[in-house]
Structure formats: structure tokens, C-alpha cells
Chain A
Amino acid sequence: MQKDLAELAVTQAQGLGATYAEARLERHSTEYFILKNGVLDALSVSEDSGIGVRVLVNGSLGFATTNTLTKDDVRGAAEDAVRVAKGARRRDPITFAQEPAVTATWGVTEKRKLADVDIEQKLRDVTDIEKDLVATKIPLAARMFQASTNRIDKYFTNSEGSKITSYSPRVRLFYFLTCVEGGDAEQTYRNYGWSGGWEALEEWKASERILAEARSLERSLKEGKKSPEGKFDLICGPQVSGIASHESCGHPTEADRILGREASQAGKSFITADAIGNTVGSSVVNVCDDPTIKNAIAYYEYDDEGVKARRRYLYKGGKIHEFLQNRETAAKLHTRSNGASRATTYSLEAIPRMANTFVEPQDHSFEELLEGVKHGIYMKSFMEWNIDDKRYNQKYVGREAYMIENGEIKQPVRKVVLELTTPAFWGAVEAVGNDLEFEAGFCGKSDPMQALDAAMGGPHMRLRGVHLR
């Protein structure tokens, strides 16, 4: 990478009056393909390099970017950033929380290097899963796979002396299945994500799990009946724990959202800036966001402002514990950044984001969780979900779900609806399992929209007395 261009951008911006300047020089080497009903619809192989320059001038932020990596264009980007910052008319100057300058190099190890595995092999590996699905004779009327790899080389530098070089290879696999029988249909999708090499497919046990999912679709169609309505004990699978931790814990604890900077797009939060310590769930609820989990899709060691990454307890012991911060929000809230600042690529500003968000596992085995349920429902996975923009009213509709009778899993049930408030969800958690599974997602925020790699997960959890319909 032409690191000198990043240094040039920072020097140029300082020379034009920036009190702070940073540059992110990135190269994304990507492969992406879609397999639709067994046909390779699209294959894309690309490389994108460029630089983003962010500056503070007289308390205003400016950001400019170019994908043309010549000295003239990089100087032009630095000039643009300073010019537009000078044009911004702020009453309250923006400042950044103090952070030490860092010199570091980090990277993710690949057991099977993405660059060494030919695209033919990658296509074949995913096509084989598709062929296995077809061989089951399950009536899958539509099948879609999307697979992608992204090798991200990055160099970050700022006017405070930070110089951080990193390499982050990532793999994603998404599938969407439609099972139709007797005029009735069930659908499902899942997202897998991995920081590492092409070993990802084996590590996920992708083939085995997708086949199991297809069988459960068919069983739901053949044997499943609409779930009963009433008050039940509920066992949530890791996918449900994961989506709830992302939607009703991770998002509402984003500091920029709390401060109103996302109000027009991703919304605000029911959590206020002075709510640290307020109760939001039962005492067994710990929800973390942790970028340092090896091989999780959102693994990183330093964020896009050069701040060291660490685990953040967002909810701890059922109380609001910590917000996701970047340097701008941390200064406003008189605290320190906790390394949550990220952007999808060089051409966009970094803002507070979740990384790998999950319910912290505790001590119950799955069997022990089940034993405690006399008459309840096990919602293993979900299909429809959403939450309001203050992150208070959420809904999850079961995809794979079963009745539980006297601690045993019984017949499948369809379309179990869990629609409740955030405190009601986390307040009903009575026991937390000792397992942990992650799923990948694209987390949407910012303007322009930044759909960012994120993981969400958790163990099985037991909720007492929730209303289901």
C-alpha cells in the first residue's frame, strides 16, 4: 500500500488549518457470487483502493474521499475535507476524547488463504451444498446462496502520530430457502460470517446445518400447526438471543444514537445519556459487544480511529452498563472511547458501531433449561423481525419452533409471535445457557447507509411467563 499517500493527506490537511487530521487508506479485494436455483447468476471479482480523509477545523468535521490514488488527487481530497469543514457552521465545537497515539500491525490468520483458493474451488464448494439440498428431494421451490470473500488491507494514520497497519480477511455465506407443499409455504434464511480463510465452510459445518434447516422446513410444513396464544415459558435459541441482543441492547446503547446524531436515519434510543445503572432486565442478563473474538466476522484489534478494541458490557447484571463510543461521542459524554468507531470502507466516515454482540453464556445446559419448563414453547429461530426506532417495541416471529411439555420437546408449531418491549424481554430472562453460537448480519446505520459486518449471538435462554400468540 502507498502509505506515503496517507501521510501526505494528513500533512496537507494540517497545512491548510486542520487541528486534527486522519487518513484511512484501504484496499478491498472481493469475490461475490449468487447461485439461484442451481444456476450461477452472478460472479463478481473486484479490487477497490482509495483513501478517506477526515479533519477537524475550528470545531467542525469535514470528510473527503477519492479512489484515484495519485498525489494530486489525495491532496485534492485533503483540500476538499478542510474546505467543507470550514463551510460547516457549528455553534458547539466538536472535540475528540483524548487517546494515545498507537503504532501497531495486526492481522487475521487464514488456515486456507482466500487468495490461494481458486474461484473455481469456491464455486464448487457452494454448488456442492446446493446439489446436496436438491438430492434430499425436499420440495424447495426456490433456493438462493450468496457467498463473498473480502480481503481488507488498511493503513490508518492521524496527526497525533498513530500508524496502524492491518489485514482482515472475511468470508460470508447467506442462503434463502423456500419450501412449498400442498399450496403452503415456509421460508428461511441464515447468514454465516467468518474472519479468516476458506476454512470457514468447514468451521461452520455449513452443509450439515443447511440440510438440517431444509429438513426442519419440510417438517414444519407437514406437521406444524399454528402456535397457541397465551402466557408461556419460552426457550429462545441462540439466533433469537442474538437478534435480541443486537436490536434491543446493541443499538440502543450506541452513543451517537443517544445523542441524536442518527435521529433522521436509524433513529434515537429509549436510553438517555444519564441512564447508566438503570435496570433494563433481570439480574442474570449480561450482554456484551466484543470485537476481539477470534474468527467472528467483526473481529478487529484497533478501530477506525486507531483506538484499541476491547469487550464492552452493554447490559450487566440487568443494568445499563456502558455505551458504544467513538472519540466524538466520548468527548460529548465526558468519557473515553471504547474502540467502537467503524466504517464499511474508506469512502465513508467512521461512527459508533456494534461488532460482535451477544448474551454472555452462563451455567445452564440446554437440557437443564428444558427441564424447568412444564408447558412452554421453544423458539429455535426466527423469520420476521423488527423493532421501533427508539428500540423499545420488538417483534420476533418463529421459524423453527416446538411445543415443550414436561421438559421435553414435542411437535413443531408455526408462526409463534413474540411481540413485547425491551424491558419486558430482558426482564423475563430467568436462566441463561452455557452454549454460544454466532450468526452474521449486515448492520444498517448512517447516511449514506453503511451496511456493516456484524455478528450477533448468544446461548439458549429461558424466559418466564411471556405472552405469545
Chain B
Amino acid sequence: MDDQLALAEQIVEKATKLGAQDAVADVFKNRNFEIRFSQNQMDIANTWRETAGWLFVAVDRRLVFTDIRDFTKWEKVVTDTVAVARKSQENPEYGGIAAGPFHYRQEHPDPKVIGLQEGGALVEAGIEAATKAGATETAGSFWRNEEEHHLATSAGVRASRHGASLYYSIRALRSLEESGHGVECSTTLSGFHPERAGLKAGEIAKRADKPQKGDAGKYDVLFDTLFLGSLADQIVGRAGAFAVMAGLSPLKDKVGQKIAHEGVTLYDDATAASNGARLWDDEGVPTQRNTVVEKGVLKTYLHNTSTAKLFNTKTTGNAGLVGPNSYALAVEPGTATKDSLMREIKDGLYVTNTWYSRYQSYVTGDFSTIPRDGIFRVKNGEIVGAVKDLRLTDNILGVWQRMEALSKERQEVMWWGEVSVPSVVPYGLARQVGFTKSSM
């Protein structure tokens, strides 16, 4: 590990000698393993051996990023990158990188996760749980991730970290329109239970028996965790200052304003033990808990050093290569239970998953997203049947303003495309949410 940190330092040193005022180098090693499965059996096992790095240089406010994929050529890459920066255009909004050194938390990856050589038994445990619950078909993936990062910056950062995590995603089906989805995230082998995800997916699939076409209208809605994770991602994921400035966020000019129900608190927190945990951002700034929405009020955007200066504030430790990013999202729990939230619904829906969220206007937040897997009709607090072919068509801020209650039980979720960062979320109850359907 020391060799790779020394290499990161050499890269930064060479860049500064060549004229870069700021330089950041990250030398990393990923050793990942994945099993994909469908029809209750494994389709392919994938392994990745990746040893690479990236370099950022600023030369007279001219900024260039590059990947270093072949370390036998790293000196040429640094020389070429500084030369490209000299030919580039000045970025007057550039505010430099954070001055280190910093102190970081300790990271203790589970040796049992690192030592895990295969995942067949774990995959099968999830499949078995789903099929026992009633599924006839399952599909999904199992991931074992391990990463080392060695970061050096021209502003005094010198740091190494080593992390590992496990992830399982399973969709259970009884037919094309009777399905459920479950996921499992963990940084420890003892805390990893793919059978829990399989059971949940299988139970939803079984309950989604013979769905009938749903009716358009406004419904009180109980959101399961995967769905709520997607809705939270639409807020915190769009709270990055880059998204705000580029017109890709409904949060522009809304800091200090109420954008969600008073019971809603959303934060980005890569310091908590989750699959999204990381010690520092891409400038080396220690990650921290950032409350983005507190009791319904938008408190801050997510920043790097440059965007923080533009907004007259401090970096939130969310620097990404291009703009600030959310790393690990959380929704503060409420006081209800999933069952008590359900009992609050006189005439509504319980939706378990969604995908394909798209906007007509990021400025206003007008969007739609398509529930997938089990969608259930709820009357007088009880599920009375399954429905299908509905689309949530509403305003993202409006949905959060009508998110009246949250459960105290939470789950860490992450899912392909829709829940883009690991998110610890409860169940949520929102009132009068708009649904549309195909006209013909």
C-alpha cells in the first residue's frame, strides 16, 4: 500500500514541477466479483482486476482530468496532461482545492468479506428463499467489492483507505406481471442475508396475484423502501451545486425554503457504516454528515471547494471529479411502523419499486416514474388486491411535501439505475399522489 501512496505522491510532485498549481492523484486497486443469475440459476460469473488511477491538474485555472490506466507510462501521462491544460480554457469559477492535511476516521473492512472467494451459496440462499415464498422465477446479481485508494494532493493530503462490501439484488416472479424485488447491502459477511432479500421479493410476487388494470387518479400511497430510495435520490442527488447551476435541479434558489413535509429530514452521510461509506472526497476532504433537508427545509447544496466559494459557504466534502456528488443517502426515521402507515390509508396504493424517472422540467420538478413489481390496492388499511399499468405523474417536491409520515424501521437499499447511491430509508406515506395510465 505504501508503494502506491508513494506513486500517487510522485505523480502530484511531477505535475507541480511541470507547472500545475494544484494537483490531485488517486491510485486505486479494485478487486470485484459478481454473479449474475436468471431462471433460478447462474448466468455468468465476472471478475475484475483493475489497478489504475486518476489525476487532476490546474494550471492557471485551466483544469484537466485524466485516467492513468497504465502505470508504466505515468510520467508521460502527467507531462501530456499538464501540456493539455496549458492549451485549455480558463475556468474563472475555479476556487482551488482544499488545504490539508486532514485527519480521517479508521476504516476496518471485514476480512471475511475480503477473503470471500465465491458466492454461489449466497446466490442460492436468496433464490431458495424467494421460491419457498412462492416465486417460480428469479433473477438478479451478487456483488463482492473490494477497493483500495491512495490519495495525494498538492495541498498536503496523503491518505490510504481499504474498503469492502457485499450486495445482493433479486427479482422474484410468478408471471410477467406478478413480481417483487428485494435487495441486501452489507459491509460484513455476518450482517449479509441474501435470503432476506429473496423472501421479501418472493412474498411481494406471491401477493401480486392476478393484478387488474389500475385507475388513474390521486391516491394516498405507502412507499416501500426501494421506491422511497428513488424519491430521496431525486432530491439529494439533485442537491449537488453542479446540478443546480446546470438547470438539472428543482432546488435552485430554494435554500432556506420549505421543500418537503416538516417530518422529512434527508442527509448525505458517508461517515456511517454502509456500502456508501468513504473517508474522504475527491479533494481529500473528510466526509461528513450533511443535512440537506431538515424538517422539510432545504439547508444546503452539496459542495466542493470551488462551488462552495461561489455560494459563499464551506465545502461539504462531496467533491467529485466534475461536480459535487452524494455518496450515501439517508432519510431520518419517523415514529410509525409500516403496518401503522398502511392503516392510515382509507383508499390508496402500496407501491414497492419503481424505475425510469424522467422530468418534463427540472426547474419545476414535474416528472413521472413507473412503478414496477407489486402495486397493491389498499382500502381501510388493508391490501385488497394487486393492480398494474399505472404511472406516478406528479411533482417531485409536491410528493415530498405530501410525505406525511415515515416509519421507524429502515433498510439500506441501492438498485440498478434508480437508487444510485446506497441509501438508508424508511417506508413513507404520502397523500394525494397523482397516477396516470395508458389511454388506449
A and B bind = yes
A residues neighboring B (CB under 8 Å): 34, 36-37, 39-50, 60-69, 73, 76-77, 80-81, 84-85, 87-92, 94, 118-120, 123, 127, 141-142, 144, 176-178, 180, 185-187, 259-265, 267-268, 270, 347, 349, 383-390, 392-395, 397, 415, 417, 419-421, 424, 444, 447-449, 466-467, 469
State whether B45 touches A61 (Cβ < 8 A): yes
Q: Which residues of A contact B171 (CB under 8 A)?
A: 263-264
CB-CB nearest in chain B for A46: B67
Question: Residue among B85, B93, B170 with the most chain A CB within 10 A?
Answer: B93
Q: Which residues of A contact B6 (CB under 8 A)?
A: none
- Pick the contact of B440 from A43, A395, A466 — CB < 8 Å? A466
State whether A67 touches B66 (Cβ < 8 A): no
Q: Which residues of A contact B248 (CB under 8 A)?
A: 144, 176
A265-B246 Cα distance, complex, nearest whole Å: 29
> B106 interface residue, CB < 8 Å from A?
no
| Given A43-B63, A65-B48, A393-B370, also A383-B93 (CB < 8 A) | no
> B335 interface residue, CB < 8 Å from A?
no
> B70 interface residue, CB < 8 Å from A?
yes
Q: Which residues of B contact A267 (CB under 8 A)?
A: 355, 372
| Given A61-B44, A61-B45, also A389-B84 (CB < 8 A) | no
Closest beta carbon of chain A to B93's beta carbon, Å? 5
Q: Which residues of B contact A261 (CB under 8 A)?
A: 36, 38-39, 43, 139
Q: Which of B148-156, B359-367, B379-387 contacts A (4 or more CB under 8 A)?
A: B359-367
- Pick the contact of A419 from B85, B91, B140, B437 — CB < 8 Å? B437
Query: Would you list 7 pairs from A and B whose C-beta atoms are within 8 A, ordered by A residue?
Result: A49-B69, A84-B47, A120-B87, A262-B139, A264-B169, A264-B170, A424-B439
Q: Which residues of A contact B34 (CB under 8 A)?
A: 447-448
A469-B368 Cα distance, complex, nearest whole Å: 15
Q: Which residues of A contact B64 (CB under 8 A)?
A: 43-45
Task: Given A178-B362, A264-B170, A349-B44, output 8 extra A-B contacts at Cβ < 8 Å.
Answer: A39-B92, A40-B63, A41-B322, A85-B45, A180-B363, A262-B139, A264-B416, A386-B356
State whether A393 touches B38 (Cβ < 8 A): no
Q: Which residues of B contact A388 (CB under 8 A)?
A: 356, 370, 372, 389, 391
State whether A393 touches B80 (Cβ < 8 A): no
Closest beta carbon of chain A to B210's beta carbon, Å? 16
- Pick the contact of A397 from B38, B42, B360 — CB < 8 Å? B360
State whether A265 touches B391 (Cβ < 8 A): no
A174-B41 Cα distance, complex, nearest whole Å: 40
CB-CB nearest in chain A for B87: A120
- Pick the contact of A141 from B42, B93, B247, B437 — CB < 8 Å? B247
> Which of B49-64 touch A at CB < 8 Å?
49-52, 63-64
CB-CB nearest in chain A for B390: A393
| Given A46-B69, A50-B69, A67-B69, also A84-B439 (CB < 8 A) | no
A90-B358 Cα distance, complex, nearest whole Å: 38
A203-B151 Cα distance, complex, nearest whole Å: 43
- Pick the contact of A386 from B169, B369, B437 — CB < 8 Å? B369
CB-CB nearest in chain A for B355: A389
> B357 interface residue, CB < 8 Å from A?
yes
Closest beta carbon of chain A to B245's beta carbon, Å? 6
Question: Residue among B66, B84, B247, B437 with the most chain A CB within 10 A?
Answer: B247
- Pick the contact of B44 from A42, A88, A383 — CB < 8 Å? A88
State whether B358 touches A384 (Cβ < 8 A): yes
CB-CB nearest in chain B for A399: B360
Q: Which residues of B contact A389 (CB under 8 A)?
A: 355-356, 370, 372
Q: Which of B173-181, B225-233, B282-290, B395-403 contacts A (4 or more CB under 8 A)?
A: B173-181
| Given A63-B44, A144-B247, also A419-B51 (CB < 8 A) | no
State whether B84 touches A36 (Cβ < 8 A): no
CB-CB nearest in chain A for B367: A384
CB-CB nearest in chain B for A44: B65
Q: Which residues of B contact A123 (CB under 8 A)?
A: 88-89
| Given A80-B49, A349-B46, also A41-B176 (CB < 8 A) | no
Q: Which residues of B contact A177 (CB under 8 A)?
A: 247
Q: Which residues of B contact A467 (CB under 8 A)?
A: 439-440
State whether B361 touches A186 (Cβ < 8 A): yes
CB-CB nearest in chain B for A141: B247
> B118 interface residue, CB < 8 Å from A?
yes
| Given A42-B63, A393-B391, also A63-B45 (CB < 8 A) | yes
Closest beta carbon of chain B to A432's beta carbon, Å? 20
A89-B140 Cα distance, complex, nearest whole Å: 15
A84-B438 Cα distance, complex, nearest whole Å: 45
- Chain B 155-175, CB-CB to A under 8 Å as 1, else 0, gives 000000000000001110100
A420-B120 Cα distance, complex, nearest whole Å: 42
State whether B84 touches A119 (Cβ < 8 A): yes
Q: Which residues of B contact A67 (CB under 8 A)?
A: 49-52, 69-70
> B436 interface residue, CB < 8 Å from A?
yes
State whether A419 touches B436 (Cβ < 8 A): yes
| Given A87-B120, A384-B368, A393-B389, also A80-B47 (CB < 8 A) | yes
